[in-house]
Amino acid sequence: MSSIVSRMQAAFAHRTVALAVAAVALAAGAGCVAEYQRTDVDAVVESPLGGTVNYAAVTVPEGMIVKAHIAPFNDDGNPLTCVLSSEDATVMDVSQAVGDKDYAFYGLKAGTTRINVRAGDSVVMVLDAIVTPQPPTTP
């Protein structure tokens, strides 16, 4: 009887050790997979009629361009590949500008839409996109 109990105790101890090892391995494994951490938005160049880009929104006057450097990083501090797309390219379009992670926002028609910033397979940032009408001209 005592031998059965001791064998059960030994088996339990083995399972406990195995689970502990697996948990440690999982935790260590999880630590090795760097995950998205942040997106930097800087080097904004406004149009002569204004407009801006920040962490929440991009505003461009109609017919104008605003440029910004948009760079997502993982929690190891390494840059992630980045793709920007507009949900309504007839209102505001976005394309690559010369320079790594430099993007040009084109104000095509007064209105609102959203710009999705995708890093890897995930959308990591959504910017409200606002195209404002041009101010009246004074010829």
Q: Tokens 């494994």 appear where? A: 29
Closer CB to another protein, 72 or 107, in the complex: 107
Closer CB to another protein, 64 or 127, in the complex: 64
Closer CB to another protein, 1 or 98, in the complex: 98
With b for 16 or more beta-carbon neighbours within 10 A and e for fewer, the 116-132 pattern comes to: bbbbeeeebbebebbbb
Residue ranges binding another protein (CB under 8 A): 45, 47-49, 62-65, 67, 95-99, 104, 106-109, 134, 137, 139
Minimal distance, residue 109 CB to another protein, in Å: 7
Minimal distance, residue 81 CB to another protein, in Å: 16
Q: What is the DSSP string of 18-63?
A: HHHHHHHHHHHHHHHS--EEEEEEEEEE-BTTB-EE-SSEEEEETT
**Euclidean distance between CA atoms 73 and 77, whole angstroms:** 6
- The answer for residues whose C-beta is within 8 angstroms of residue 126's C-beta and 6 or more apart is 114, 115, 116, 117
Minimal distance, residue 84 CB to another protein, in Å: 13
Closer CB to another protein, 9 or 134, in the complex: 134
Structure tokens given for 63: 């017919």
Minimal distance, residue 102 CB to another protein, in Å: 8
Minimal distance, residue 92 CB to another protein, in Å: 10
Closer CB to another protein, 44 or 74, in the complex: 44
